[in-house]
Structure formats: structure tokens, C-alpha cells
């Protein structure tokens, strides 16, 4: 459906006419995985109050909810992200939560509240982004809530399943376990640090680097395949996604598991684009890599004896991870670089009131 002029339909019209193309032919779909029979008995196409799943075998249902849109979603406010992009991000953020628990997503419930100023085309773009992300991650947007608000507000609830006893948790890391991460962190945080202050730096980044930073927001990847391997093969003793940044994730696993961590700073992967932004900000690249950033990588611990088998499973699926540290009996997380030992650099996301672009340059906690 295309629009040649701006239109502002009422809520019933938007639900009945603009959303239906994304919700068709859902009811009766087989959404199970890994030998677990699950049927979406009533999908959004049924136009009922709730989605209904028929679960025909013992199965663990994993449910996670996340609100992602606020007045400080700065790259959207700057016009650098589209309505489609933030719809996609909504789905990815919620699906990432169930992926971090080792679950396979079977559906997403979405809340889309919009201001009167958002025309039909803009509204449809948000829904299209949610729909595309669900398609990319192998699941369905099964409806939710749509209506007016004073500004655009997005929230979601992801549903996932896994075999009983296979759920991954933040707790469970043991002294001696190795700490791993599925890829580079800090790209999304670097984008937020760079673009609002772009004109104040001594120079701007090359166009391809700017595109890489924005693309990290436009289609972030929930690590569904990685989570399933870690859960089903019982490799991970603990796991969490890096939606609050790598430093925050390490600290949260540490507290939940009752262990400490030694991080080999030389083994933490740093993206070239993050390194370039850090140079402009005059902060060390590792600090920016570990600071607040919603990269949706998985950080997990694994017993030393299982690392080789885990890597082989990852490699067979075209996946990878980096071993960046070790769990210790002594509490606290410290970075090691040769003989140097220090508190982890960077600033963990703790819902600060300050501008996120300043976070990486704040001093580390003592």
C-alpha cells in the first residue's frame, strides 16, 4: 500500500485497513521448534483480544517485555532513523531478551501509541518495521495495542519456547568459567555519542563509517541462533544480552552469579568505527566499547572443558565468539592488560539523566 498524500485516519480505520496486510493468515500456523509442537491457534488475523497458543507437549514458555521509545531517542529525533527503523528496533530489542534466555521466539505483542501528527504512511512504516524484524527472526507479530498518545511510544512483549530445564539465566557462572561475547560491542553507543556532536569535532568520519554506525541501529540482530546453541547443548552456565552495554552486562552477571571477573582487555574486540569515534571524543576505545550501547550481543560463561565443543558448534553454523575473561571467587570486575589491573573502563547504563553521549567520557567507578 502506498500513499500519494498525507492521510490521518482514525484508530479503527488504521487497525482495520492499514495493519491487516501484516497480520494475514496467521491462525493455525505451526510456530514450534526443536521438536516442540506449538500452534498459533488464534493470531492477529482472528481479531480477538489475545493470541492463543496450543502447546501439545511439556515446554517452557519464556516471556519478556521491553519499552524502547522515549523523548530522548535522539537519532530518530534528528531524522537519522526512520519510522521503519524504530519499529524494527522494537522487535529486535524484545526478541533479543528471549534469545538471551536460550528460547526460540514464537511471537511478539506490540504496543504502538502515536501522536495525531503521525500520518498514515508514517504509522504504517512503524508496523512494517516490526513486521520485517519478526520475519527476519523467524516469528510473527501477533498484535497488541494501537492507539493515540501525546508522542510516539513503542513497547513490546516477546514470547519464546525452549525445552524444559534448558533456560539460560544470568546466575550460574562459577569460578574458573570463561567469559565470552558473541561479537563487537559499542557501535550503537558510538553512534549516539558521535552524531549529536558531529559538527563540534575536529573532523567528520568518512561516509562509509557513518553509514556503519547508523546501520547498527537500523537492523540490529537478536542472537537467536547463538542462544539456542548455548541452551540446547548446555554450554552456557550463565548468559545475558548486552542491551545495556558490555560493562553493565558483565556486572549484572557478576552480581547474579556471586562471582567476580578478570577481563583480559587485549581480547575484547573493538570495532574500527568505535575506535574512530573514541579518537574524536578523546576517550580510550575500550571505554567506549564497554559503555552504554544496545548491541544485542550475548555475553555468556562456559566451563573451560566445554569451550572447544562450543566453538565447534558455533563454527558449524557460521557463528563466532570471543573469550574475554574468567570468573573468579574474588568479587568485583577488573580489567587486566599485562601487569596492569584496574576497574573496568567505561560507564555502565543505569538510566542516567545525563546525555548518553557523555557517558563514555565519565570517569570509571572506583
Binding-site residues for substrate sit at 349
Phi, psi of 83 (to 5 degrees): -60, -40
Per the annotation, where are the binding residues for Mg(2+)?
A: 49, 65-66, 97, 145, 241, 244
Sign, CA dihedral 193-197-203-208, equals: positive
For the annotated binding site, the residues are: 49, 65-66, 97, 144-145, 170, 241, 243-244, 349
Largest CA distance in the chain: 66
- CA distances for 197 relative to 75, 80, 85, 192, 287, angstroms: 12, 14, 21, 9, 18
Asked whether the beta carbons of 289 and 271 are under 8 A apart, the reply is yes
Tell me the C-alpha distance between 318 and 321, whole Å.
11
**Cα 342–chain centre separation:** 28
Distance, in Å, from the CA atom of 206 to the CA atom of 212, rounded to the nearest integer, reads 10
Q: Let me know: does 251 contact 122? Beta carbons within 8 Å.
A: no
| Helix, strand, coil share (%) of the chain residues, nearest 5 | 35, 25, 40
Which residues, 6+ apart, have CB-to-CB distance to 320 below 8 Å?
182, 183, 314
Q: Which three cell numbers, joined as nine digits, stand for 250?
A: 558483565
Binding residues for ATP: 144-145, 170, 243
d(CA 174, CA 252): 14
CA distance 79 to 95: 25
The DSSP bridge partners found for residue 52 are: 42
Bridge partners (DSSP) listed for residue 148:
114
68: Cβ contacts below 8 Å, ≥ 6 apart: 86, 89, 90, 93, 154, 155, 156
Amino acid at each position: 500500500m502506498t500513499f500519494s498524500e498525507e492521510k490521518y485516519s482514525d484508530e479503527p480505520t488504521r487497525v482495520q485497513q492499514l495493519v491487516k496486510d501484516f497480520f494475514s493468515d496467521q491462525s493455525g500456523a505451526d510456530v514450534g521448534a526443536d521438536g516442540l509442537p506449538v500452534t498459533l491457534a488464534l493470531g492477529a488475523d482472528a481479531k480477538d483480544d489475545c493470541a492463543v497458543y496450543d502447546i501439545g507437549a511439556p515446554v517452557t514458555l519464556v516471556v519478556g517485555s521491553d519499552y524502547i521509545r522515549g523523548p530522548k531517542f535522539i537519532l530518530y529525533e534528528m531524522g537519522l532513523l526512520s519510522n521503519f527503523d524504530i519499529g524494527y528496533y522494537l522487535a529486535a530489542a524484545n526478541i533479543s531478551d528471549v534469545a538471551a534466555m536460550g528460547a526460540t521466539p514464537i511471537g511478539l505483542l506490540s504496543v504502538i501509541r502515536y501522536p495525531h501528527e503521525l500520518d498514515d504512511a508514517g504509522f504504517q512504516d512503524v508496523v512494517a518495521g516490526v513486521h520485517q524484524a519478526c520475519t527476519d527472526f523467524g516469528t510473527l507479530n501477533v498484535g497488541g495495542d494501537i492507539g493515540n498518545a501525546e508522542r510516539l511510544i513503542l513497547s513490546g512483549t516477546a514470547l519464546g519456547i525452549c525445552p524444559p530445564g534448558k533456560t539460560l539465566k544470568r546466575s550460574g557462572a562459577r569460578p574458573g568459567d570463561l567469559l565470552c561475547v558473541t561479537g563487537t560491542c559499542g557501535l550503537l553507543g558510538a553512534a549516539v555519542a558521535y552524531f549529536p556532536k558531529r559538527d563540534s569535532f575536529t573532523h567528520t568520519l568518512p561516509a562509509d563509517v557513518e553509514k556503519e554506525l547508523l546501520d547498527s541501529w537500523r537492523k540490529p540482530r537478536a542472537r537467536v541462533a547463538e542462544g539456542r546453541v548455548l541452551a540446547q547443548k548446555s554450554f552456557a552456565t550463565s548468559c545475558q544480552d548486552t542491551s545495556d552495554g558490555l560493562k553493565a552486562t558483565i556486572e549484572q552477571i557478576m552480581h547474579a552469579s556471586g562471582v567476580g571477573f578478570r577481563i583480559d582487555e587485549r581480547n575484547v574486540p573493538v570495532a574500527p568505527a568505535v575506535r574512530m569515534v573514541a579518537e574524536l571524543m578523546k576517550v580510550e576505545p575500550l571505554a567506549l566499547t564497554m559503555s552504554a550501547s544496545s548491541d544485542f550481543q550475548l555475553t555468556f560463561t562456559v566451563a573451560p572443558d566445554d569451550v572447544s565443543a562450543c566453538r565447534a558448534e558455533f563454527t558449524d553454523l557460521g557463528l563466532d565468539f570471543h573469550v574475554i575473561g574468567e570468573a573468579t571467587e574474588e568479587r568485583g570486575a577488573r580489567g587486566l592488560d599485562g601487569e596492569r589491573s584496574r576497574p573496568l573502563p567505561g560507564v555502565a547504563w543505569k538510566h542516567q539523566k545525563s546525555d548518553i553521549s557523555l557517558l563514555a567520557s565519565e570517569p570509571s567507578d572506583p
